[in-house]
Amino acid sequence: MCAQNPLYIALPLFSCLLATSGAAIGALYSFLEQAPMRYFSPEDSKLMSDNIDAVLAVPDNDVPQAWHNDTTGNHGSAMSTRSFRHQNMNCRRLRIDNHASGVDARITADLCDVDGVWKVLRLPE
């Protein structure tokens, strides 16, 4: 990935991927096979996506926002840990924690506001 030409993936596309059935995600992306998202119901995916939107709507960092599905027992949280600028765009680093069916995972993602739409810049290690 070149710093002058980063690859952006639209957050809505990310949300659609999350809404895909667990089996399909596991088949397409083997690294997700043990991830909690594999066990998410469509409602879990919506709750997580809405939670991420809520975190991005608040300008403050270090304010965790949690979600919980009483029906499935699955839950998670998201928090912006850093705000920064990249190529004249406002960006945020999110830490996303999810739990489903006894599986926990933490994902860190840098997202940037591109013309009013948050897009994934990179998944830092």
**pLDDT tens digits for range 85-95:** 999 999 999 99
Q: Examine the pLDDT at 18 and tell me if it is beyond 60.
A: no
The pLDDT of residue 77 is 97
Alpha carbons 29 and 1: distance in angstroms, whole number: 20
71-117 per-position pLDDT tens digit:
999 999 999 999 999 999 999 999 999 999 999 999 898 999 999 99
User: Quick one: angle between helices 11-19 and 42-57, nearest 10?
Assistant: 160
Q: Torsions phi, psi of 4, nearest 5?
A: -80, -20
Average pLDDT over residues 14-33: 43
28-73 per-position pLDDT tens digit:
344 455 589 889 999 999 999 999 999 999 999 999 999 999 999 9
Q: Where are the domains of the chain?
A: 9-122
pTM of the predicted model, to two decimals?
Answer: 0.72
Beta-strand runs (E) in the chain: 9-10, 65-68, 75-86, 89-100, 103-114, 117-122
